[in-house]
Amino acid sequence: MTSQSSIFVTLSSTAVRSGTILLLPTLGEIFAERAGILNLGIEGMMIIGALFGFIAGFVTKNPYIGFVVGMIAGGLSALIHAFVSITLRGNQIVSGLALTIFGLGITNFFGQPWINRKFTIPVKDYAIPGLSKIPYVGQIFFHQDLFVYFSYVLMIAMWFMLFKTKLGVHLRAVGENARASDAMGVNVNRNRYFWTFFGGLLAGGGGAYLTLVYAPFWLDGITAGRGWIALALVIFAMWNPLYAFIGAYLFGGIDALQFQLQASGTTIPSSLLNMQPYLLTLIVVVAATIVLRKRHIGTPRELGEPYDREER
Amino acid sequence: MDDIVVSLKNITKRFPGIVANDRVNFELRRGEVHTLLGENGAGKSTLMNILDGIYQPDEGEIYINGKLVEIKNPSDAMRLGIGMIHQHFMLVETLTVLENVILGLAEQGLYINKKEISKRIEEVSDRYNLCINPSTKIWQLSVGEQQRVEIIKTLFRGAQILILDEPTAVLTPQEVEVSFEIYKQMIEEGKSIIFISHKLNEVMDISDRITVLRKGKYIGTVDTDKITEKELATMMVGREVLFRLERKPHERKDKVLQVSNLKALDDKGLLALNGLNLEVFSGEIYGLAGVAGNGQKILSEAIAGLRKVIDGKITIAGKDLTNASASEIFAHGVSYIPPDRLKMGLVPNLSSVDNAILRRYYKPPIYNRHLINYSEAERYAKKLIEEYDIMVPREDAPVKLLSGGNMQKLLLAREISEQPKLLIAVHPTRGLDVGATEFVRRELLKQRDNGVAVLLISEDLDEIFMISDRIGVIYEGQILDTFDIKEAKIEKVGLLMAGMKSEREFSEQVCSTV
Amino acid sequence: MISFKGINPLAAYKALLIGAFGSTYTFSETIVAATPLILIATGLVLVFNMKFWNIGAYGQYIMGAIFSSYFALNVSPSVSPWILLPVMCVASIIGGAIWALIPAFMKLVWEVNEVISTLLLNYIALYILKYLMYGPWRNPTSHGFPLSKMFAANAQLPRIWPHTRVHLGIVFAIIIVFLMYFIIKKTRFGYETRVIGENSTAARYAGISIFRNTMLAMAISGGIAGLAGMAQVSGVIHLLQLEINPNYGYTAIIVAWLASLNPIAVLLVSILLGGIEAGGSQIQMMMHVPYGIVGVIESSILFALLGGEIFKTFRVKFRRRG
C-alpha cells in the first residue's frame, strides 16, 4: 500500500468512528420523529450520555459499561421530554430546547472535576473474518470496534423493523395519524413514550462513544453542536434508517479531515475549519429540503402535535 | 333467547360547555339495522364513540349481550365484537390497505406475512364484492374505496356489531344502493348494524327501528313501518319542518365567472383539474355536484386565488384574473366560504372582532391613520352579530367557543357584507343543525335574488337540488354535464358523479376501478 | 442537587438571592444581565407569536456585536459619540437582521426548517467571532487572549447609574418593550402577524402576505437581538471578546416563553432570570458552584411552565362545566 492510500484508509476509518457519534443519535431521532415526537434535546441528551458514560467508564475501567450507562442516562433524560410533551402536551419545540439547556447545565455542574481527564483504556478493534480482507472497504469498515459494529447491526435492524414488522407499522401510524391509530387499538402514548426513550438511549450512546472512544476525554460542552447536526441529518436521511449512514459518515469525514489538516499544520485558521461542518450541514439541509419537496416526501404528518383522545 | 346485543342505559357525557349526551338509552337487537337519527350536534356520534371506547361516559351503563361491561378503549370494543366506521375515516393515508388492516390487531406475530394477510383480505373483499387491492396506499383511493377499506377492517376483526357513522354522506346515490346491499348481506350473516344518519329517506329505506336524539337527549324509539317521514322529522327537530324553501323565479343576467380549459395540480402534484369549463351568471345559483376528491376544492381555490393554475383562464366580470393574488381577486368582488371554516375561513383562537374585520382591517374607517381603530372594529363586529343574530359569549371571546352554526353565520355575514359579485360557497351547511342550515340556504337565495352569482359546491345532493338554478357534475377534474334545474334528474346526476353515463356502465364498473 | 456536591444548599440559594438582589450593586448587575434579555426576548415575542421558531438570537446577537465593533475599532476616537454610537446601533441592527433574514428566506422559499437553520447559523456566527478574535481583530497586546482593543470613549454607551455597569441599553430596552406592545396590539402589521401565527391558511385566504410579514418580523427580531449585542460590547465590556455571553440568546427564549409571549411581561421575567444569571456568577465565584446550575434552574422552570399549561386548559374545562 502506498503511503497516500494508507492515509486515505486511516482517514476513512476515523471518519466512520467520527460518523458513529452522529449515526446513533440520528437513528434514534428518526424513530422518535416517525412516532410524532420532535425532540430538539438531542444535544442535551448526547452530552448527558457523554459525561455519565465517561464517568462510569472511568470508574469501572470498562468502556462497555460506560457506554451502557451513557445510553441509560440519555434515555432517562429523554423521559423528561416525553413526560412534558406526551402526558402534559406541552410545546415540543420549547421542551426540547429546555432539555438541551438542562443537559448543558447539568453536565457543566457535575463535569467540573472530570475536565481534561483522559479515558486511557483502549477499545479493541476486531477484524471481521472475510469481510475485512476486501481491499479498502475491509480496512475502513470491518476493522472497527464493537460500538461501530453495533451501529451497523442497529441500522439494518431498525430498517427491517420499521418496514417489515407490525411494530414498525404501529410506529409509523402513530406519527402519521394518532387518532386513527388509537381507534384501531394502538396505544399511541405508550408507543410515543417508548420511541422517545429509545431516541434518548441512542443519543446518550453517541455521546458516550465520543468521550470513551473517539476523544477520549471529557471537556465541558464537548458535543459542540453535534446534536443539531444529527437533527439535520434526519431530514437528509428522509426518515429512513438505511440512509442515515450516508450523512453521518460524510460529516464524520469532514470532522476527521479537519483534524488531519490541523495536525499537519495548515495555515487555515482552526476556527474556519471548525465552521465547515455547520456550513455544510446548512447547505445539505437546504438541498435535501428542496429535493424532498419536489418528490412530495414530507415530515411525519403529526410531528410535534400532541394527541388528546377526548379533544373534539 | 335474549337477542338484545347492545344496551346503553342512562349514558351521560359532558364536554366543555355542553352536555353531549344527557341520560340517553339505546338498544340493539341481533340481526337488525337500528338507526340513530338526529340533527348535527344531537349527540349521535358521541354516543357511538362511547360504545367504541374512544370516549368514556361520565355516567351510565353499557351491556353487551346482557353483560355489564366497561369499554376503556377501542381494543376493548374490538374484543367485544364492536367495530365502528367513522365519519372521518380512521385510516393512515401513507400506509397501504394491508398495513391499515393489521393496525392494532392483537393476533398476528411480529413479522408481517404479507402473502397470507393479503389472501385473507382478498377473501373478505371478494365475499362482499368490495374490490380492494391490499397493496394500494390509502391516499391513492377514492373516498368510496376508502370507506370499503374501513368495512374490510371491521370485518377482518370479526366484528358482529357494526356502527356506521353517516356512511352515505360521501357516496353517490348508486353507491348508496350498493352499500345497502352489502349491509343486508351482513345482516343475513347474523351481524347487527347501528346506522347513524340525518337523512330521512335513507333511514326509512334501510332500518328496522329508529331511535331519535335531539340536543343530547333521548326522544324515543320507533318501528320504521309505524311512522311517517314527517313525524320523524318533527321528532328530530322538535317542531314541524318545512321541506321546501320559497324561491322566486330566477333571472339570469350577465356572465360573472368564466372558467375555460382550466388545469391545476393538487398538493401531491397530480393533475386535479383537467381542462375544466364553467360559467356562472349573476342572479343564479350554480350547484356543482360531485364525489369528494374530484377537484371541487382545487377549483374553488383556483378561483379564489389560493392556488396557481398551470393552464387555462379565469375571467371574473370580464377581467382576466388567472393566477391573480387572493387579495386582487377579492378586490374584484369575489367572496369565498371555504370548505372548512376552522381551517381557512376563520382564525379560531382570535376574537369575533378580529375575525369580523378580516376582510376590511385595511380599509377606512377601521384602518385609520396607519393604525387599526379597534372601537370602530368592535362596532362593526357588533353590527354583524346583531344583523345576523349570531350568538357569541362576548365579542372578545375566541370564535372557537362558538357553535358550528354561529361560526358559519359569522363567516357568511362577513363575506356577504363585502357585497360580492361572485360568492363561492363550499359545503356551506356541513355539520350545521337544521336551523342554521335553513338560515344559510335562505341567505344564499337572497344573494341570488340580489343579483349575485353564486357558485355552490356541495356533496349533499339534496341541497344542490333544493336551491340551485343550474346543476353541473364534476368528475376527475372536468365538468361532465350541466343541467337546468327543471330538467335535472337525481339518478342521472348520481351516475355522472361516478363518471358514468348509464346504469349499465355502473353495474359493470364495480371491480374495474382497482 | 447542590447538596449532592457537599455544599449547603440553603447557603447556596441564599447566595444566589443575595447575588441577584442583595445589595444595590448586585441589583445593578441583575439589571445589566436583564438588559440584553429584555431586548432579545421582545424581538422573539414577535416571531414566536407568528409560530416562527427563531432559535438564532444567539447568532444574531453575535453578528450585532461584530458589526458594531467594526465601527468602534476602525473609526477615529476623535469622532463625536453622537455620530459614532448611532452608526454602531444601526450597524448592529443590520448585522442581526441579515443573520435573521437568511433562515427566514430559506423557510419562505424552500420550506427549510427554521429551527435547524437558525441553530446552525448560531455556530457559524460563533466561529466567525472566534476567527476574528484569534485573527485579524485580536489586540496584539492581549497575550494571546481572544480580545479586541478597548473601545475608545466615543464608542462606549454611557453608564446611567454611577458606580455600576448599568448603561443606556436598559432605556432602549424599555422603550422597545412598549413600542413592541403597541405594534402588536394596534398596527396593521401586528394584526397580520397575529392572523399568520394563529392560522396561516386563513392569512393566505385573506390575502395577507406571509412572505413580507415574516421577513419584516424576522428583520425586527434579529435586528433587536443585534442591538442587544451592540449594547453588551459597547455598554458593558467595552471591547469585543469571545466571551460576550451569547447564551443570552437561549435564555431569552425561556424569557419569552415564561412571559407567555407578552412584551410587558418580558420586562419582569427578564429581571427575574437576569437575577438568576447574575446570582449564578456570584455563587460561582463565592462558593465554587459551577455556573451550569443556572441552566439547570432555568430549564426546570421552563419544564414546569410547559407542563403547567395543561392545567390552564383543565381549569377552563372545569369552570365551564360547573
Q: Flag if C198 and B349 touch (Cβ within 8 Å).
A: yes
Angle between helices C114-134 and A226-236 (to 10 degrees): 140
d(CA C285, CA C18): 13
Q: What dihedral do alpha carbons C161, C166, C167, C170 form, nearest 10°?
A: -110
> What domains, with CATH codes, occur in chain B?
4-237 (3.40.50.300), 253-333+421-514 (3.40.50.300), 345-419 (no CATH)
Burial of A189 (0-12, 13-18, 19+ CB in 10 A): middle
d(CA C100, CA C50): 15
Kindly list the domain boundaries of chain A, sorted by start residue.
3-294
**Residue bearing the bigger pLDDT, B368 or C37:** C37
Task: Establish whether the linkage from the previous residue to B398 is cis, with ω within 30° of 0.
Answer: no
Q: Flag if C205 and B326 touch (Cβ within 8 Å).
A: yes
Which of A271, A278, A285 shows the shortest C-beta gap to C112?
A: A285
d(CA B235, CA B214): 8
Q: Which residue of B has its CA nearest to A299?
A: B94
User: What's the whole-model pTM score?
Assistant: 0.92
Q: Flag if B55 and A310 touch (Cβ within 8 Å).
A: yes
Which chains sit next to A, with 3 or more Cβ pairs under 8 A?
Answer: B, C
Assign C290 to helix, strand or coil.
Answer: coil
The top-level CATH class assigned to A3-294 is mainly alpha
Q: Does A157 touch chain B (CB under 8 A)?
A: no
Assign B487 to helix, strand or coil.
Answer: coil
Q: Flag if C111 and A279 touch (Cβ within 8 Å).
A: no
Find how far residue B89's CA is from the centre of its chain: 12
DSSP class of C151: P
**Interface probe, candidates A80, A220, A289, A293, chain C, greatest C C-beta count within 10 A:** A289
Q: Flag if C295 and A108 touch (Cβ within 8 Å).
A: yes
**Interface probe, candidates B72, B78, B103, B110, chain A, greatest A C-beta count within 10 A:** B103
Please report the pLDDT score of residue B505 as a whole number. 65
d(CA A89, CA A191): 15
**Interface probe, candidates B19, B54, B94, B165, chain A, greatest A C-beta count within 10 A:** B94
pLDDT digits (tens, 9 = 90+) for A39-69: 999 999 999 999 999 999 999 999 999 999 9
User: Could you tell me if residue A247 is left (phi over 0), alpha (psi between -120 and 50 degrees) or otherwise beta?
Assistant: alpha
Please report the pLDDT score of residue A269 as a whole number. 87
Shortest distance, CA C234 to any CA of chain A (angstroms): 24
Distances (CA, A) of A279 to A20, B361, C57, C102: 20, 42, 18, 13
Q: Does B17 touch chain C (CB under 8 A)?
A: yes
d(CA B328, CA B326): 5
A-B contacts (CB, under 8 Å): 81
Shortest distance, CA A134 to any CA of chain C (angstroms): 38
Q: Which residue of C has its CA nearest to B371?
A: C187
d(CA C31, CA A150): 51
Q: Which residue of C has its CA nearest to A112?
A: C290
Which of B325, B350, B374 shows the shortest C-beta gap to C198?
A: B350
User: Could you tell me if residue B485 is left (phi over 0), alpha (psi between -120 and 50 degrees) or otherwise beta?
Assistant: alpha
Which of A167, A187, A312 shows the shortest C-beta gap to B15?
A: A312
Question: For residue B285, what are the β-bridge partners?
Answer: B454
Q: Which residue of C has its CA nearest to A80?
A: C303
Q: Does B344 touch chain C (CB under 8 A)?
A: yes
Q: Flag if A173 and B99 touch (Cβ within 8 Å).
A: yes
Q: Flag if C207 and B16 touch (Cβ within 8 Å).
A: no
Which chains sit next to C, with 3 or more Cβ pairs under 8 A?
Answer: A, B
Query: 468512528: which residue's cell?
Result: A17
Kindly list the domain boundaries of chain C, sorted by start residue.
39-264
**Tens-digit pLDDT string for chain B (514 aa):** 458 999 999 999 998 778 999 999 999 999 999 999 998 888 999 999 999 999 999 999 999 999 999 999 998 999 999 999 998 899 999 999 999 999 988 766 778 888 999 999 999 888 888 888 999 999 989 888 999 999 999 998 889 999 999 999 888 888 898 899 999 999 999 999 999 988 888 899 999 999 999 999 999 999 999 999 889 989 988 877 665 677 777 777 799 999 999 999 998 889 999 999 999 999 999 999 999 889 999 999 999 999 999 999 999 999 999 999 999 999 999 999 999 999 999 999 999 999 999 999 999 899 988 899 999 999 999 999 999 999 988 888 899 988 889 999 999 999 999 999 999 999 999 888 888 898 999 999 999 999 999 999 998 898 999 999 999 999 999 999 999 999 999 999 999 998 887 666 666 555 644 3
